Amino acid sequence: MVDLLLTRYNYIAAFLLIAGGLYMVIGDRNFVKKVIGMNLFQTGIFLFFITAAFVEVDGMTGAPPVITDGVDLYVSPLPHVLILTAIVVGVSLTAVALTLIIRIYREYGTLREDVLREMDTDD
């Protein structure tokens, strides 16, 4: 168990971020905090991909995937490229989410989900 914690700490960190982010999305009443939780959730998945690219052979760790002289072992470049795309997607999602949040705030003057629900039942 201790061995697992010591050698796989990067995976554990990624999944703590994923779980924490998911909890914020579900548990938090404030829309901005929900979006922040969504970002944490995605960042956890990005970390998972990046850490999966890591290569270690006979105690030698992979170099960053940029070809240089005298280096034979590189980490897998594919996850890095993929995550670059996924980060762009994540940023656009956050932008759209914040735009919608601004519209909701202008209209209702609040960002709390429970307050909004009460206003909804009034009319």
Partner 1 sequence: MTDAIVLAIVVPIVAAVLTLLLGLRFDNVGWPMAVLATATQVGLTAVIGAAVLENGRVTYELAGFAPPAGIELVADTLSAPVALLVAVVSLAVLAYARTSGPHGNMFYIVYLLLVGGLAGVTLTGDLFNMYVFLEITGLAAYALVATGDTAKSAIAGLKYLVVGTIGASLFLLGVGYAFLATGTLNMADLAQRLGDVAAYDSRLVLASFALIVAGLAVKVALFPVHSWQPDAYQSSPDSVSIFISALVSTVAAYALGRILFSVFTPAFFDAVPMARTVLVHAAAVSILAGSTLAVLQQDVKRMLAYSSVAQFGMVVAAFAMMNELAAVGGVIHLVGHAIMKGGLFAAAGVIAAFTGARRIDDYAGLAGRAPVVAASFAVLAFAMVGVPPAVGFVGKWYIAFGAIESGTWVVAAVILASTLLTLAYFARIVERMYFRPAERTAAGDSAVGAATDGGEPPVSPGMVAVVVGAAVAAVVLGFFGSGIEAFLDPFLTEVFA
The answer to whether 73 touches 55, Cβ cutoff 8 Å, is yes
Is residue 93 at the binding interface for partner 1, with CB under 8 A as the rule?
A: yes
Stretch that binds partner 1, among 2-10, 57-65, 67-75, 103-111 (CB under 8 A): 103-111
> CB of 92: closest distance to partner 1 in angstroms?
6
In sequence order, the β-bridge partners of residue 57 are: 60
For tokens 């944490």, the residue is 40
Write the DSSP assignment of 16-57 as a string of letters: HHHHHHHHHHHH--BHHHHHHHHHHHHHHHHHHHHHHT--EE
Structure tokens at 86: 């996924």
- Candidates 13, 36, 101, 115: give the one binding partner 1 (CB under 8 A): 101
Q: Which residues bind partner 1 (CB under 8 A)?
A: 18, 22, 25, 31, 34-35, 38, 41-42, 45, 48-49, 52, 78-79, 82, 85-86, 89, 92-93, 96-97, 100-101, 103-104, 107-108, 116, 120
